[in-house]
């Protein structure tokens, strides 16, 4: 009789231990899920920042490639004489800014 009582108590204790173990594993899984979500959020932020830098570089490149007609050198009825929209100093500033953005990649 005592053996049966001891066995049932032991079984109950084992069941409680297993329940505690299961709860621990659930908590660990929740922590892992939170870590994964945190890492995914950080990667998304980094990706968004990378896209913004790429857009900035593309915009600066477009600014550098823009040209305009030089009214002083173009003759009426002839082919227009094209010049860059930015002067040399401005082009240098834009180029340096673009290079600094590219180095961040």
Under 8 Å CB-to-CB from 2, ≥6 apart: which residues? none
Name the residue with tokens 């050198």: 73
* pLDDT of the residue at 83: 86
Name the residue with tokens 């913004």: 52
CA angle 50, 51, 56 (to 5 degrees): 100
Domain locations along the chain:
2-103
* pLDDT of the residue at 36: 96
DSSP character at residue 104: T
Enumerate residue ranges in the chain where pLDDT < 70: 1-5, 77
* pLDDT of the residue at 80: 81
Is 63 within 8 Å of 85 (Cβ atoms)? yes
**Pairing assessment for the beta strands 67-69 and 82-84 based on DSSP bridges:** antiparallel
Q: What's the pTM? A: 0.62
């Amino acid at each position: 009789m005592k053996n049966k009582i001891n066995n049932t108590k032991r079984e109950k204790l084992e069941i409680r231990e297993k329940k505690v173990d299961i709860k621990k594993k659930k908590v660990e899984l929740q922590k892992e899920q939170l870590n994964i979500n945190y890492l995914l959020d950080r990667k998304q932020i980094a990706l968004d920042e990378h896209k913004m830098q790429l857009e900035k570089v593309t915009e600066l490149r477009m600014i550098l490639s823009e040209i305009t007609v030089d009214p002083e050198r173009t003759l009426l009825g002839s082919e227009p004489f094209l010049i860059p929209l930015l002067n040399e100093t401005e082009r240098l500033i834009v180029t340096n800014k673009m290079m600094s953005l590219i180095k961040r990649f």
